[in-house]
A = this chain, B = another copy of it.
Amino acid sequence: MAARAGVSRATVSRVVNGSATVTPEIRAAVLRAVDQLGYVPNSAARSLVTRRTGSIGLVVSEPPSRVFSDDPFFAVVARAVSQELEGADKQVVLLPASSPAGHARVERYVAGGHVDGVILLSMHGSDPLPAALARTDVPVVSHGRPITTVPLPYCDCDNVAGARSAVRHLLDRGRRRIAAIGGPPDMSAALDRMTGYREVLSGTDRRSLVAMGDFTRESGAAAMRQLLEDDPGLDAVFAANDLMAIGALHALRQAGRRVPDDVAVVGFDDIEAARYTDPPLTTVRQPVAEVARAVVRRLLGSEEERTAEPLILPTELIVRDSA
């Protein structure tokens, strides 16, 4: 390659890496040779000396059922991250970490210098990975507030405020018995949304009534049946995510309750499917892609940017027909 262009390897390297200090003629000659030979620098050799890999790890620590099923969350994040990374010419490598074995693999992988940074996705409270990763000198940013003892940079949406707006809306519509379907209690998003629900109700004379789900449709349907049994008189339900709200809609229909006439339903996320339920779902829109992009920017930014205050993006209540 260097021979073909009649220059040294060093000069080829400089041209390929866009160094300014190269004579135009030489640069042209090198570029021509690169083109003719289809030369592409070997990435491993380059990484070895630059100590950078051009890859960012996306750690998905979630039981397959949720992240990889019908919830568009993972896909939306993966896409936004890839896209935002394009400008920096970096790729995302998927790091599944749902099992202890997966955790060990991810740790080894990161420690082995395979990635320039790590994005944590939907971590659970019990997860030992954040702490382990924080000990590495690889930058880590979490998508969503992690429940950890170690402080960790993160971006998130305002789950508490979002839930508040949903419950207030129900109150404004004159609903009196507002139940809730909660998510996994070891995830901050689920926790925060329940906090918002309780906060609003505690300001009134209404009692709270909660059934737990795990963010899946099926669990939403089961929780709804439970709720109906516990309090047949309920006239509204706030589900901590849309998938569970869809399950609730299903259970309500089977129980012969009309929505929103008998029972009003509000979800959280505003996934695409929310527009196609019957009736269309009133829900809290969460800017998943924007949070993901913010995470990437922090990850790529300086140490100071990363350790700055967590970025919390606002949510928006989307009123459709279910409430």
Contacts and interface: CB of A to CB of B under 8 A. Distances in A.
Contact of A272 (B64, B69, B94, B272): B69
Given A44-B113, A272-B217, A94 B94 contact: yes
Contact of A93 (B75, B89, B93, B247): B93
A301 B47 CA distance: 28
A79 interface: yes
Contact of A69 (B43, B72, B247, B253): B72
Nearest to A96: B82
B68 A76 contact: yes
B271 A43 contact: no
Interface residues of A, number: 52
A115 to B, nearest CB: 9
A95 interface: yes
A232 interface: no
B253 A276 contact: no
Given A79-B68, A82-B94, A93-B94, A111 B38 contact: yes
A70 interface: yes
Interface in A88-137: 89, 91-96, 102, 105, 108-109, 111-114
A92 B72 CA distance: 19
A47 B44 CA distance: 6
A42 interface: yes
Contacts of A92: 93-94
B91 A94 contact: yes
A259 to B, nearest CB: 11
Contact of A78 (B68, B91, B253): B68
A41 interface: yes
A279 to B, nearest CB: 10
Given A43-B112, A48-B42, A78-B78, A271 B70 contact: yes
B55 A93 contact: yes
A53 interface: yes
A250 interface: yes
Contacts of A78: 68, 74, 78, 94
A40 interface: yes
Given A45-B48, A67-B75, A75-B75, 18 more contacts: A38-B111, A40-B113, A41-B112, A42-B112, A42-B113, A44-B44, A44-B45, A67-B79, A68-B79, A69-B76, A70-B272, A70-B273, A74-B75, A82-B94, A82-B96, A89-B105, A92-B93, A217-B276
Top-5 shortest CB links A-B? A44-B47, A68-B79, A70-B272, A44-B48, A40-B111
